[in-house]
Amino acid sequence: MNCIIFRRFIVILLPLVALQLSNKTLAQTASGAVQARYRSDVDEMLSINKVSVLPFTDNLQGIYSRHLETYFIDQINGMHRWDFVPASGSGPVLTPEELEMSPEKARQAAEGLGVDAFFSGRLSKGPNGVTIHLSLFLSEDGKLLSQAILKDYKQFQISDLQSQMQKMLNEIIARLPYSGRILSRDGNRITVNVGKKDGIQENQILSVVQIIQIQRHPKFNFLIKTEKEVLGKVKLLKIDDTLSFGVIVTERERDTIQKGSKVGALDFVTYGAAQQLSLNSEPEEALSQREDGAIAFGKDAHAWRPERPASFGQIGGRFGLGSFSGNSNISTDPLEAKNSIAPHIQLDGEIWVTPELTFAGRLRQGVIPISNPREGSSPSELNQSLNYYEASLGYRLRLGPHVWSAYFEPYLGYFNYKLYVDDASPQVFTTMQYSGAKIGVRGSAPLGGEKGLYGFGGEFAFGFKPSLKETPVTSGESSENSMTQFGIFGFRKISERMKVIAQLDFEMYASNFSGNGTRTESATSASHRYTTLSGGIFYMF
């Protein structure tokens, strides 16, 4: 009897246990179904937990760099935002500029450090003061994340430079796309790695964000802007110096906010309150009604927006009038022709492949009519046309970080010069074409600093063993040729990307002949000389 009752009890109990287990499994599955994990590769790449500091450099054999590097490491080591890892390695010491131009070198510098990001610094002392470059690079892609530059600081004391270094560090932190991180979550309670030292106050509400997209400069790779989405908001109830404790007020889905989630800006952007509500579609017109409107806004006032500096290259055109002199020393009688107002046009362009490497091109066309200098030769008037082009590759040594800064640039290129002339009977001049390698140097400097409106510059070049081709006849069996160019110019800045320029150029193309050519009278030498004054406008992009 007891066995029967026991078997019936088991039969009833087993379905109940199975149902309970089934309900528990379904609950867990359902619970798991509503949990959400928002993941972004970009957000994870920008997560910085550990940082290091590469050796600083200067141009004074370490007089400044050693002291400021030690001070900077102390500041980083004492911060609550990141964990500091000392740099170790015997590789080459690279400047921030070298790392900016080569992410591969930056990744190599980060190998073995075990950090998410690292700092690099360079100091240089010049006649105008001390310049400091301080940059923060990501270890994963080796690209620049944030940067601060102090230019021509007039104080040279270590203590003064340390104070400026602290300001630059704060500037770099302010430019990061987030302000802090969630350190832990327990239920709806969270811990954040910002506190009183960051300006946090009790009951302050912060946004928790995720970075989903970034935009970098196409040439220099530094961060321009980020796109974020808000995951939720937290309210901070207890504030310590470097930590804050609070609760989650709202989030997009359950458990969206997790350890490592990023905290957005600590302060909201505020705007001045309007004195009154206006539905006028053009409220700026009311500004002129102020008592000081005429003084403060002037006539035809309009909104001002800063113009971004050029970073890719420049293109421009010039028109000029030149003095031409052509000579040919033939056996019977020297021949000379001149034109004092020969017009020409010229196009110039540059592509800044890197901040140092420049590819340049030039095209010039001109018309130079002359009187036939040979008695008894026909026609009496000869037409000449000038065709010149060149391409060059230069290494630009910039003396400042700005596009208007002074620079010095040696370059190597190829040129082709051709002066076509009408045929005459008896023969007078031949069409001459010089071509070959060109070696030169150019440069410019602003007057009154980079913010000055005026500047000056110059260029010098010569041909390296240029070749000569003559048609329809040759003046000699062989020739020794030369090409020399020299120019000076001045410019005025119109805007951040435009300038007008005036330039004075001197050119000489010459040949000494040996042996007998195919012309009736052999020639011993020939030359073309130009003095040209031109003006034009350039646009930088």
What confidence score (pLDDT) does residue 299 get?
58
Question: Is the pLDDT at 541 greater than 60, yes or no?
Answer: yes
Between CA 123 and CA 401 the distance in angstroms is: 14
Helix axes 158-174, 65-77, angle to 10 degrees: 50
Euclidean distance between CA atoms 212 and 425, whole angstroms? 78
pLDDT tens-digit series, residues 442-468: 999 999 876 788 999 999 999 999 999
For residue 470, the tally of other CB atoms under 10 A from its CB is: 21
pLDDT band at 265 (very low <50, low <70, confident <90, very high): confident
pLDDT tens, residue by residue, 63-81? 888 889 999 999 998 888 8
Span 128-154, pLDDT tens digits = 899 999 999 999 999 998 889 999 898
Q: Where do we find the tokens 């770099």?
A: 172
Max CA pair span of the chain: 150
Average pLDDT over residues 14-35: 43
> Which is it for strands 244-251 and 189-192: parallel, antiparallel or unpaired?
antiparallel
> What pLDDT band is residue 337 in, cutting at 50, 70 and 90?
very high
Supply the pLDDT for residue 13: 52
In the prediction, which pLDDT does 310 show? Answer: 81
Q: Name the DSSP letter for residue 537.
A: E
Cβ neighbours for 218, distance < 8 A, ≥ 6 positions apart: none
HEC secondary structure over 117-142: EEEEEEEEEECCEEEEEEEEEECCCC
- Residue found under tokens 């040949």: 511
In whole numbers, what is the pLDDT of the chain averaged over residues?
85
pLDDT above 50 for 27: no
Q: What are the backbone angles phi and psi of residue 485, rounded to the nearest 5°?
A: -130, 140
Residue 71 sits at the vertex; the CA angle it makes with 67 and 77, to the nearest 5 degrees, is 145
**Mean pLDDT within 23-46:** 58
**CB neighbours (10 Å) of residue 97?**
17
Strongest mean pLDDT among 53-57, 72-76, 503-507: 503-507
Average pLDDT of the segment spanning 170-181? 88
Handedness of CA 518, 519, 521, 527 (dihedral sign): negative
Compute CA 27 distance to the chain's CA centroid, rounded to the nearest angstrom. 56
Residue 302 pLDDT grade (very low, low, confident, very high; cuts 50, 70, 90): low
Q: Where are the beta strands (DSSP E) in 187-222?
A: 189-192, 205-216
pLDDT tens, 396-438? 998 887 788 899 999 999 999 999 999 999 889 999 999 999 9
Average pLDDT over residues 157-168: 91
Residue 3 in this model has a pLDDT that exceeds 90? no
How distant, in Å, are the alpha carbons of 211, 442, 509, 513, 530 from that of 436?
Answer: 54, 19, 12, 18, 19
The mean pLDDT of 485-507, rounded to a whole number, is: 94
Q: Which of 504, 408, 507, 523 is nearest to 463 (CA)?
A: 507
Q: Give me the pLDDT at residue 399, please.
A: 85
Mean pLDDT of 174-184: 89
Please report the pLDDT score of residue 292 as a whole number. 54
Residue 107 pairs with which residues in a beta bridge? Answer: none
Instruction: pLDDT band for 93, please (50, 70, 90 cuts).
Output: confident
Query: Closest Cα to residue 436, out of 494, 479, 406, 391?
Result: 391
Cα angle 66, 71, 75; round to 5: 145
Q: Quick one: how far is CA 507 from the chain centroid? A: 35
pLDDT digits (tens, 9 = 90+) for 224-245: 888 888 999 999 999 998 899 9
pLDDT of residue 284 exceeding 80 = no
**pLDDT band per the 50, 70, 90 thresholds, residue 31:** very low
Residues 146 and 408: their CA atoms lie apart, in Å, by 29
CA 202-203-206 angle, to 5 degrees, is 105
Percent of the chain exceeding pLDDT 70 equals: 85
pLDDT score of 39 more than 50: yes
Q: What is the pLDDT averaged over residues 290-310?
A: 59
pLDDT band with cut points at 50, 70 and 90 for residue 383: very high
The owner of tokens 């199975």 is 18
What percent of the chain has a predicted confidence (pLDDT) above 90? Answer: 51
Helix (H) or strand (E) holding 351: strand 334-352
